[in-house]
């Protein structure tokens, strides 16, 4: 019975490391990570570069400059901290900047980010954090 238990234990330990995106080589364990994939970038060779391009395009197309009481555009800086969660949605952690109106406009723009394929770690969906500094 002991031998059967030991064989079962060794077999189950070997299956534990047989995960997609995880490679065990001696004392070294390597876990493969991949970034979220923006809609339309699935067939791209470099999904990270495509993600960055699509994000910048999204900012250009969706940021609406706020106006002051005289009707002039308000410009400023904002630092946006967000994560793409396990289901591929953009979740805003914080928006920091000097001007509250610029911060609100930046937050509204981030809320319009489309749902995407989430990033993975070891073959399983995981949240990925981003910090985006903007001068608007």
Tell me whether residue 115 is in a domain.
yes
Q: What is the average per-residue pLDDT within 83-100?
A: 96
Tell me whether residue 11 is in a domain.
no
| Predicted confidence (pLDDT) at residue 110 exceeds the cutoff of 80 | yes
Domain residue limits at 119 = 32-135
Tell me whether residue 60 is in a domain.
yes
Tell me whether residue 73 is in a domain.
yes
Number of folded domains that form the chain: 1
> Which runs of consecutive H residues, i.e. helices, occur in the chain?
2-16, 47-62, 100-110
Confidence band for 12, pLDDT divided at 50, 70 and 90:
low
Tell me whether residue 9 is in a domain.
no
Q: What is the average per-residue pLDDT within 48-70?
A: 94
Q: Is the pTM of this model over 0.85?
A: no
Can you tell me which residue has the tokens 């608007």? 136
Q: What percent of the chain shows pLDDT beyond 90?
A: 71
User: What pLDDT score was predicted for residue 13?
Assistant: 53
> Is-contact 90 110, C-beta < 8 A?
yes
CATH number at residue 57: 3.30.1150
């Amino acid at each position: 019975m002991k031998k059967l238990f030991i064989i079962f234990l060794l077999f189950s330990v070997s299956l534990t490391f047989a995960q997609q995106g995880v490679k065990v080589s001696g004392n070294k364990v390597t876990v493969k990570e991949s970034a979220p994939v923006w809609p339309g970038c699935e067939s791209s060779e470099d999904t990270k570069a495509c993600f960055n391009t699509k994000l910048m395009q999204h900012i250009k197309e969706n940021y609406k400059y706020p106006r002051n009481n005289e009707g002039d555009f308000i410009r400023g800086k904002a630092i946006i901290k967000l994560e793409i969660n396990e289901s591929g949605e953009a979740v805003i952690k914080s928006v920091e900047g000097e001007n509250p109106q610029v911060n609100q406009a930046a937050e509204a723009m981030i809320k319009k980010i489309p749902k995407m394929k989430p990033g993975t770690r070891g073959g399983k969906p995981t949240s990925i954090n981003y910090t985006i500094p903007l001068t608007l």
